[in-house]
Amino acid sequence: MNSFVKKYTEMKKLYLLIFTLPFLIFCCKDKEEIIRNVDPERKEWGLFQKGTWWVYEEENTRAIDSFWVDSVEISFFKNDDFDYNKYEQIITLVNSNDNNSKSYALTLSSRTTLIKVLTFINFDRENSNSSIIVSIPLSKGKRFSACKALKWAELDSIYDSLKISGNTFHNVTRVYDMCNSAYKNQPTYFYCAKNIGIVRKEFPEMNEIWNLKRLNIVQ
């Protein structure tokens, strides 16, 4: 009887080893990383090359502000150690003539549908605030979390074309950000056009409206 039990136990161990060995080999084998590139359509909305510039005019004061692309940085990152996807991230660094110790960037990555504008305080890349300017694919009424609880950004309008300050832009979206942390936490309306970028910025509580007047786009 003891001999039978011993033999049964040994057979059980053998079967267990046979069935678990392939699983152990699979787990120990290095998985190939999968490169996730940013979708080409998102690049049409949020990637601009050096040589691109935009000039805006404030409706009430006629003040002028200009922005230009300084450089483009492309990198890849992993979400965590268990994620075998490598996500592409594109940062378009933008300078301005407003001389307020700030620099700006447009960011997009293959891990999110959002395109954001960042503000770097005192030109410090580690000290930044952000605001959502568009989400691709477009979905009217879609909401995203903003800088504070019970605050959000919403893509509330989509226009086939829109005339702004004498210029007609096509494929335009409007995002209302209740708490634009990139600009003093002010409620903001961002109007963005495909292949153009931001064409209009409205700050209702500050009575400011900035319209795109002149531009040169390199994509």
> Looking at the DSSP assignment, which residues form a beta bridge with residue 65?
56
Q: What is the mean pLDDT of the chain?
A: 83
Q: How far apart are CA 173 and CA 83, in angstroms?
A: 33
Query: Cβ–Cβ contacts within 10 Å for residue 154, how many?
Result: 18
* Confidence tier at 99 by pLDDT (50, 70, 90): low
Beta strands in 28-151 (DSSP E): 34-36, 53-58, 64-77, 85-96, 102-109, 114-121, 128-135, 143-145
DSSP β-bridge partners for residue 174: 157, 191
Q: Which run of H or of E encompasses 160?
A: strand 152-164
> pTM for the full model?
0.79
Give CA–CA dist 208/58, Å, rounded.
7
Domain ranges of the chain: 1-30, 34-216
Residue with tokens 């500050």: 206
Are 106 and 42 in contact by the 8 Å Cβ rule? The answer is no
The amino acid at residue 26 is F
The fold for domain 34-216 equals YmcC-like fold (2.40.360)
Which H or E run includes 212? Answer: strand 208-216
The pLDDT assigned to 19 comes to 56
pLDDT digits (tens, 9 = 90+) for 130-165: 888 998 989 898 888 766 566 788 999 999 999 998
The predicted-structure confidence for 173-189, as pLDDT tens digits, reads as follows 999 998 887 777 889 99
Helices and strands per DSSP (H, E), number in the chain: 2, 13
Nearest to 209 by CA among 185, 194, 189: 189
